[in-house]
Amino acid sequence: MTTPSGAAGEAGGVGGGSGGIDSTLVENRRFEPPDAGALGVGRWHVGSAEEYRRLHEESLADPEGFWGKEAGRLAWFRGWEKVLEWEAPDARWFVGGTLNACYNCVDRHVQAGHGEDVAIIWEGEPVGPVTSHASPGSKYAAEPEVRRVTYRELQEQTSRCANALRSMGVKKGDVVTIYMPMVPELAVAVLACARLGAAHSVIFGGFAPHAIKERVADAGSRVIVTADGGYRRGEVVPLQKNVEEAASALSGEGHRVEHVLVLKRTGHELPSRRFNTGSVGAGGAVYHWWHEAVGGASDACPCVEVGSEDMLFLLYTSGSTGKPKGIVHTTGGYLVYAGMTARLTFNLMPDAGQVFWCTADVGWITGHSYVVYGVMMNRVPTVMYEGAPNFPGNDRFWSVIARHRVTHFYTAPTAIRTFMKWGDDLPAKHDLSSLRILGTVGEPINPEAWVWYRRHIGWDRCPVVDTYWQTETGGHVCTPLPGAVATKPGSCTVPMPGIDAAVVNERGEEMPAGRGGLFVIRRPWPGMLRGVHGNRERFVSNYWGRVKDPATGEPYYFSADGARRDADGYFWVQGRIDDVIKVSGHLLGTMEVESALVSHPGVAEAAVVGMPHEIKGSAICAFVTLKPAWLRSEGREPGESLKKELASHVAREVGALARPDQVRFAEALPKTRSGKIMRRLLRDVAAGVEKITQDTTTLEDFSVVSRLREDED
Ligand code: WTA
């Protein structure tokens, strides 16, 4: 059977327009959790609404008992003395306990006799008429390259890689930067750091040299793991070159990268740019080939015992200043939380024939928690796919699912909207009968896309779990548990067991049903961030300084998302209320884009806002004022070609994901008397909203509004 079943399960309801989330306000469809036997999942970990409610209640009534039990699922070198020490906003979880993350993901499975089980199923991108270096000796790959990595191989590889890193001076407490394509060695590098007790900082492969530079410097990282290149849409992404550029720029600023470990993935470099392991290259760093340094290292490397609160990783995320924040996660709490949420949200269980595919890059938190840690801790094979969803055709994802008999598919709303646009016939051509559970993450999903996903990918039988969470939360905080919670398209439904979520006003008072407010978490949970690297003030003020318990004055965790709860207690997340936007599910600080723009010699001032976009959710609109002197001296016009140039400039500085969709020139930016840019007004102008929803009498320059509006025509 390769075609979707009929339109069962539809209760009519209001479909809503595409893209926006307003339609969720009137959404009234509801889907009951399927029977485990009928769906063919064996059993549910949590199998009824009643069971979920009990679990959630118990977890809040006795948090230490609940989390202690969860932590008991991990392997500890030494048990903890105390589940939680909480001195707001500082939490210490599983105090006194010691463990190792790589041991929990890999070694313990080998020791339990599962060494030959598959840990990673990897598929490379090249297939069809590909670039010449894709598969040696051939310009045409009929089948994609597939590798299956067992836990035993992973144990060996992470040991060798850890030894290679150690020989470069990496030790417990250091931060290793990883900038790699989606290949098994990326997971190996991540786990090898954990094996050594070093922290990793993975940078998404789509970021540009300047963004790498900033993150390496902030982390104080001396070792970078990268690859010569990676494949994306049939092209080579020059990763090593980007690292070299970053390393050179860093050395100019007094930060020396000491070692760069390079995986040969594409082999595309010209002989003139090839290097020998051990040679000094760009930025004064010593460059090493992975196959030599890792291949030649010993495969014996015991997992280093680390404290529960030792840092496992740093992951940079965008904030409302121009500088990205290094979110700190520690070992014990993060692992407990990633493991539990993966198990409950996706009903993961070993030896049940499950194959889990999360399409996120490991460079984002979703990839950390649900490509690597959470899935491996549950001993379920995780799929890694290297490339783009539209190479060589728009049905690549569906062929991956069919080829590997994927049971769990987890992707982003922006991807789902793209698939809708590409047509129902593409998934219908492939055998998606292995699928059991579908997930979505990263931004609010419009009900129309949700329902399409359920019908055309899940054939109306797989539950859809809309998982709401953040880099800072470590794992899902609101999501339906697939066997227990009825779903409503567009709602992330109910809190994870252990999570005390609420929608409150600025005074911390809970909002009545149906009324919008701020999404907060009222007490600590193990997966919570422990800090912003090197910036205590930002940690405290961004997350803990905004809303308090009105009775006790204890701070609540502030998400910066707006949300409401309906009469059934379901959460509907509406999106960010700070100056960050979600573009295709990727978080971007508007200030980051603005500073990239003003680094162009022709730009005097820039203001960046999000505007609604059918596929991407939000797109970037940049308002720019130019320097008249520059225009004159360069003989330039403020026209289309300059707009293109500025958009490319941003892509070069930050990465392609930050390329503005629209650049608009203005003579001056609208500002309040105190000099603050009127962003709400600019958002309305960008969205083409007719009415100005803000009192404009505080504008510095009235004429600017009309001029910006003229620009719309
Ligand atoms: C948004 C990604 C609605 C939200 C895991 C949050 C969502 C930000 C959802 C964090 C969802 C994530 N429904 N909005 N299911 N999931 N978001 O740090 O605005 O990249 O604050 O983590 O994504 O993005 P981040």
3-state secondary structure 180-215: CCCCHHHHHHHHHHHHHCCEEEECCCCECHHHHHHH
Give the residue among 702, 698, 703 at the shortest CA–CA distance from 673. 698
Position 9 scores a pLDDT of 34
Residue 554 maps to a domain = yes
State pTM to two decimals.
0.92
Closest CA to ligand 1's atom 22: 470
Q: Say yes or no: 702 and 595 in one domain.
A: yes
Q: Find out whether the beta carbon of 99 lies less than 6 Å from any atom of ligand 1.
A: no
Closest CA to ligand 1's atom 7: 443
Q: Say yes or no: 557 and 596 in one domain.
A: no
Q: Under 8 Å CB-to-CB from 660, ≥6 apart: which residues?
A: 593, 608, 619, 620, 621, 622, 646, 647, 650
Amino acid present at 155: Q
CATH number at residue 423: 3.40.50.12780
Residue 34 maps to a domain = yes
Position 491 scores a pLDDT of 97
Closest CA to ligand 1's atom 25: 470
In angstroms, rounded to a whole number, what is the distance separating the alpha carbons of residues 170 and 160? 13
**Domain end position, chosen among 512, 538, 572:** 572
Domains held by the chain: number: 3
Q: Say yes or no: 444 and 530 in one domain.
A: yes
Q: Say yes or no: 387 and 501 in one domain.
A: yes
Q: Say yes or no: 355 and 439 in one domain.
A: yes
Q: Say yes or no: 697 and 627 in one domain.
A: yes
Position 322 scores a pLDDT of 79
CATH number at residue 254: 3.40.50.980
Q: Say yes or no: 469 and 350 in one domain.
A: yes
Position 130 scores a pLDDT of 54
Residue 252 maps to a domain = yes
Tell me, what DSSP letter sits at residue 423? -
In contact, 566 and 572? CB cutoff 8 Å:
yes
Position 140 scores a pLDDT of 61
Q: Say yes or no: 289 and 428 in one domain.
A: no
Distance 561 CA to ligand 1 centre (A): 9
In contact, 133 and 119? CB cutoff 8 Å:
no
Q: Say yes or no: 475 and 376 in one domain.
A: yes
Q: Say yes or no: 565 and 610 in one domain.
A: no
DSSP codes, 5-57: --STT--------SS-SGGGGG----BPPPPHHHHT-S--SS-SHHHHHHHHH
φ, ψ for residue 376, nearest 5 deg: -65, -35
Atom of ligand 1 nearest to the CA of 466: 15
Closest CA to ligand 1's atom 10: 470
**Domain end position, chosen among 304, 334, 363:** 304
Of 334, 337, 364, 468, the one to substitute when testing ligand 1's pocket (max ligand atoms within 8 A of C-beta) is 468
Q: Find out whether the beta carbon of 214 lies less than 6 Å from any atom of ligand 1.
A: no
**Domain end position, chosen among 572, 600, 633:** 572
Position 319 scores a pLDDT of 85
Residue 133 maps to a domain = no
Residue-number span of the structural domain to which 206 is assigned: 150-304
Task: Write the secondary structure of 226-247 as one string of H (helix), E (strand) and C (coil).
Answer: EECCEEECCEEECHHHHHHHHH
Residue 390 maps to a domain = yes
Distance 533 CA to ligand 1 centre (A): 21
Position 305 scores a pLDDT of 98
Of 582, 583, 588, 618, the one to substitute when testing ligand 1's pocket (max ligand atoms within 8 A of C-beta) is 582
Q: Say yes or no: 244 and 227 in one domain.
A: yes
Of 22, 318, 369, 469, the one to substitute when testing ligand 1's pocket (max ligand atoms within 8 A of C-beta) is 469
Alpha helices in 423-578 (DSSP H): 425-428, 447-452, 536-539
Atom of ligand 1 nearest to the CA of 492: 15
Residue 166 maps to a domain = yes
> pLDDT tens digits for 412-443?
999 999 999 999 999 999 999 999 999 999 99
Q: Find out whether the beta carbon of 576 lies less than 6 Å from any atom of ligand 1.
A: yes
Residue 125 maps to a domain = no
CATH number at residue 634: 3.30.300.30
CA distances from 239 to 221, 279, 565 (A): 17, 18, 44
Residue 298 maps to a domain = yes
Q: Say yes or no: 504 and 629 in one domain.
A: no
Position 139 scores a pLDDT of 53
Q: Find out whether the beta carbon of 478 lies less than 6 Å from any atom of ligand 1.
A: no
Listed as ranges, residues in the chain with pLDDT below 70 are: 1-26, 129-140, 271-272, 690-713
β-sheet bridge partners, residue 445 = none
